[in-house]
Amino acid sequence: MTDSITIRRPFDSHVHLRQGAMLRAVTPITAQKFFSAIVMPNTDPPIDTTEAAAAYKEEIMAAVPEGSTFEPLMTFYLTKNLSPAEIAKGFSGEASAKVYAVKSYPYGATTNSQWGYRSILEAKDVLREMERVGMPLMLHGEVHLNDHDEEEDPYEGERLFVEDTLPRLLDAFPRLKISLEHMSTAIAADFIEKNGAEGKLVATITPTHLLYDRRQAFSGGYRTLIHMKPLVKRREDRERVRALAQRGLPFVSAGSDSAPHPESKKFSSCVTFGVFCSPAALEMYTGVFDELGALDKLENFLSINGPRFYGIQPSEERITLIKKDWQVTEPVITSEGVKVWPIGHVQHGLGNEVIRWQVKR
């Protein structure tokens, strides 16, 4: 039985660090465990100029604890304001912050997603420029509204995207680098296993979609801490996504999608989308790979595949995890006194959840 594993310091391919007091509260948590991360641009207002990206990076760096070498990697939000000229400028790194990728959100699907295009295929000029310079596109791969502006079934959004939008996108932009984020369904896992290619078409998986399915989401009431887009799906979907992770393919990596919200929005009659997982994400991933008998695949998934896709060197530092039970007992509290509840919390998660691995201190 393996009860300790040492890997290169991990990389988070997808994290939300927010703004203001929330940013100052959550950034140190990611910076403590991950050497770098792709930071999502769905702030208010969204990041869609190199100047805004540089200013946002500065705000994040001010919250990184002294002595940490953590580097946030910036992204653009694919708004209608984002121009092809800005793509070249951001990706070249000539401005004070290099912009590593563009994130596309389906209109109206999740937190601050009201600035996006109705369909990704409408953004032709920007996508063509990204294809030309080699800048990756990160997809929130769900169809939210149909052609008549009616809401699609939220359990079907990813299937609709993978069956219809994604193949059209791949046809129209054959050399565009694409990452399908937070994969949640068997159909997406099948698609990626068949069509994924290193440096070209990759996918990320959250701890939430590896650990939970909709039976847990509805067990004994609705479990709002695991409420996110894409929604957690059927058990069969979760099993299929786990099986994909287990294969250790070079085009599948960890993207926690840690997305903190204040308690007032998470415990609300209109609960907001987003799972705050950074306090336990690394440990949860390790637990899943252990359960799958795939700890030998963990380092590639956490520390190698993500950096490689974004063209950066994996970390030379190492981190050791040991098999030792613990529980998430506390919320994170911002300087304004706002509580932020992490996934797996002993009371507010599913109830008495135990995390089997921890970082050795």
Provide the annotated active-site residues: 257
Does position 142 interact with Zn ion (CB under 5 A)? The reply is no
CA-to-CA distance for 288 and 242, rounded, in angstroms?
A: 8
335 C-beta neighbours (distance < 10 Å), count: 10
Residue closer to Zn ion, measured from CB, 257 or 299: 257
Interface stretch with Zn ion, choices 24-32, 250-258, 260-268, 334-342 (CB under 5 A): 250-258
* DSSP class per residue in 273-303: S-B--TTTHHHHHHHHHHHTT-GGGHHIIII
Cis peptide before 230 (omega within 30 of 0): yes
Does position 257 interact with Zn ion (CB under 5 A)? The reply is yes
Looking at residues 34 to 63 of the shown chain, list those that interact with Zn ion (rule: CB under 5 A): none
* Contact criterion met (CB below 8 Å) for 138 and 103: yes
CA-to-CA distance for 59 and 65, rounded, in angstroms?
A: 13
Residue closer to Zn ion, measured from CB, 105 or 357: 105
- CB-facing half-sphere around the CA of 204: CA atoms within 13 A: 32
Shortest reach from residue 104's CB to Zn ion, in Å: 11
CA-to-CA distance for 23 and 16, rounded, in angstroms?
A: 9
Looking at residues 301 to 330 of the shown chain, list those that interact with Zn ion (rule: CB under 5 A): none
What the block records as the tokens of 336 is: 């304004």
Instruction: Give the nearest residue (CB) to Zn ion.
Output: 257
Shortest reach from residue 138's CB to Zn ion, in Å: 9
Q: At what angle do helices 235-246 and 186-195 cross, to 10 degrees?
A: 30
* Burial zone of 146 (CB within 10 Å; 0-12 exposed, 13-18 middle, 19+ buried): exposed
330 C-beta neighbours (distance < 10 Å), count: 12
CA-to-CA distance for 35 and 16, rounded, in angstroms?
A: 15
Residue closer to Zn ion, measured from CB, 154 or 248: 154
Does position 12 interact with Zn ion (CB under 5 A)? The reply is no
What the block records as the tokens of 248 is: 């250790």
Interface stretch with Zn ion, choices 18-26, 51-59, 208-216, 257-265 (CB under 5 A): 257-265
* Contact criterion met (CB below 8 Å) for 75 and 50: no
Residue closer to Zn ion, measured from CB, 12 or 283: 12
Shortest reach from residue 115's CB to Zn ion, in Å: 15
CA-to-CA distance for 273 and 265, rounded, in angstroms?
A: 9
Residue closer to Zn ion, measured from CB, 14 or 348: 14
CA-to-CA distance for 72 and 350, rounded, in angstroms?
A: 31
Residue closer to Zn ion, measured from CB, 257 or 283: 257
* Contact criterion met (CB below 8 Å) for 176 and 120: no
Interface stretch with Zn ion, choices 148-156, 162-170, 252-260, 346-354 (CB under 5 A): 252-260
Interface stretch with Zn ion, choices 58-66, 122-130, 210-218, 254-262 (CB under 5 A): 254-262
Shortest reach from residue 18's CB to Zn ion, in Å: 11
Shortest reach from residue 318's CB to Zn ion, in Å: 28
Residue closer to Zn ion, measured from CB, 24 or 140: 140
CA-to-CA distance for 45 and 51, rounded, in angstroms?
A: 13
Shortest reach from residue 257's CB to Zn ion, in Å: 4
* Contact criterion met (CB below 8 Å) for 278 and 256: yes
Interface stretch with Zn ion, choices 26-34, 188-196, 253-261, 318-326 (CB under 5 A): 253-261
What the block records as the tokens of 334 is: 């911002």
Shortest reach from residue 93's CB to Zn ion, in Å: 24
Number of residues that bind Zn ion (CB under 5 A): 1
- Summarize as ranges the residues that interact with Zn ion (CB under 5 A): 257
